[in-house]
Structure 1
């Protein structure tokens, strides 16, 4: 298992390097820069994109009526999402300091940048902002929950979960009482490497 984990880690690093390379290629192809976290397209590229924008009225009248009816359900989730965002932010600021767990950087998860695309109309931009926020908050909360689980109960389940968080593979085997007690002695006394804390 350790050998497989190491191969998986190496493959993940190779995958991330390839993603970074492809992003750089796309930046050159679509001529944009990141300036202090803001996307800046060259003017001719913005003009080219604008040619593909669908007007708001046309967008609304050509869409499925059922899609419009479900919009309040989608946007109604903003309240629990904001509460989740606020709750996990406060939780980690207090509890992670007490536990000595590295805090999660929200900006690594909540990425909102699609509204810079000139080929989107105002409603499409709003939808993209909403999706970036919603999925980012859920990923942010998942990472905070994963680090919490790593601290309090790092035991694998008896059955396989569909998509466990990245910390799960470091967890102790289900049923290994001896390893769990040994882990408690070392981990809670701060004798665990820093990368296991993140």
Structure 2
């Protein structure tokens, strides 16, 4: 990777931090804090949230019939997701130890905090739990796969990818065969 590309990547990372800070400022009016991994709202804020929670019966009356009919299909997907989660754990325990990779922390990707929101009814909280688990699991799997790919096949794709894992920027350019094996060895040594 040349110096100009590295410089642009560093600028993008700095802008991501700046964006995060701006988002935090924008959301600063919402009074909560995180203590020992638990979200804590001020009592007044939580009381106001509960006032805005939709009654479960009225919520159920407003759910379209197709939502009810597709719910079993959606929720049955949690079974393969849990199996996949276990397989990822086993894979990481074995492969990452063999190749001496730094472990990917599952807790960096799976966040369960929507149940603290007082304006969600029990079914909405269950839906949020499902989505948080499933989407976090996919990001976790992508990080594990990306770390593995960094070692075995760190070559960028010819076509633009929709979403890149955090290791992708380190990959070698597509079609750049010059000194490929040496670059691969260097990349493996430094990663």
Q: Given the two structures, how large is their TM-score scaled by the length of structure 2?
A: 0.91
What is the Cα-based RMSD across aligned positions, in Å?
Answer: 1.8
Give aligned pairs, total.
190
Where do 5+ consecutive residues of structure 2 fail to align? none
Alpha-carbon distance between aligned partners in 2 of 1:134 and 1:116, rounded to the nearest angstrom: 19
Distance 1:20 1:91, change over 3 A: farther
Q: Is the 8 A contact 1:172 1:179 kept in 2?
A: no
1:39 paired to 2:39: yes
SS in 2 for 1:159: coil
- Counterpart residue number, 1:134: 134
Alpha-carbon distance between aligned partners in 1 of 2:86 and 2:143, rounded to the nearest angstrom: 15
Alpha-carbon distance between aligned partners in 2 of 1:39 and 1:163, rounded to the nearest angstrom: 30
Q: Deviations over 1:133-179 (max 9, x none)?
A: 10000000000000000011111223332223232222112233343
- Counterpart residue number, 1:7: 8
- In the TM superposition, residue 25 of structure 1 has moved relative to its aligned partner by 5.2
Alpha-carbon distance between aligned partners in 2 of 1:93 and 1:24, rounded to the nearest angstrom: 39
Alpha-carbon distance between aligned partners in 2 of 1:155 and 1:25, rounded to the nearest angstrom: 39
- In the TM superposition, residue 60 of structure 1 has moved relative to its aligned partner by 0.8
Q: Is the 8 A contact 1:54 1:121 kept in 2?
A: yes
Q: Is the 8 A contact 1:155 1:172 kept in 2?
A: yes
1:70 paired to 2:70: yes
Q: Deviations over 1:19-69 (max 9, x none)?
A: 14533652x422111000110101111000011101111111111111111
Q: Is the 8 A contact 1:106 1:140 kept in 2?
A: yes
- In the TM superposition, residue 187 of structure 1 has moved relative to its aligned partner by 4.3
Alpha-carbon distance between aligned partners in 2 of 1:168 and 1:15, rounded to the nearest angstrom: 17
Where do 5+ consecutive residues of structure 1 fail to align? none
- Counterpart residue number, 1:55: 55
Q: Is the 8 A contact 1:156 1:174 kept in 2?
A: yes
Alpha-carbon distance between aligned partners in 1 of 2:169 and 2:184, rounded to the nearest angstrom: 18
- In the TM superposition, residue 86 of structure 1 has moved relative to its aligned partner by 1.2
SS in 1 for 2:179: helix
- In the TM superposition, residue 112 of structure 1 has moved relative to its aligned partner by 0.8
Distance 1:91 1:20, change over 3 A: farther
Q: After TM superposition, where is structure 1 displaced by more than 6 Å over at least 4 residues in a row? A: none
Alpha-carbon distance between aligned partners in 2 of 1:173 and 1:18, rounded to the nearest angstrom: 28
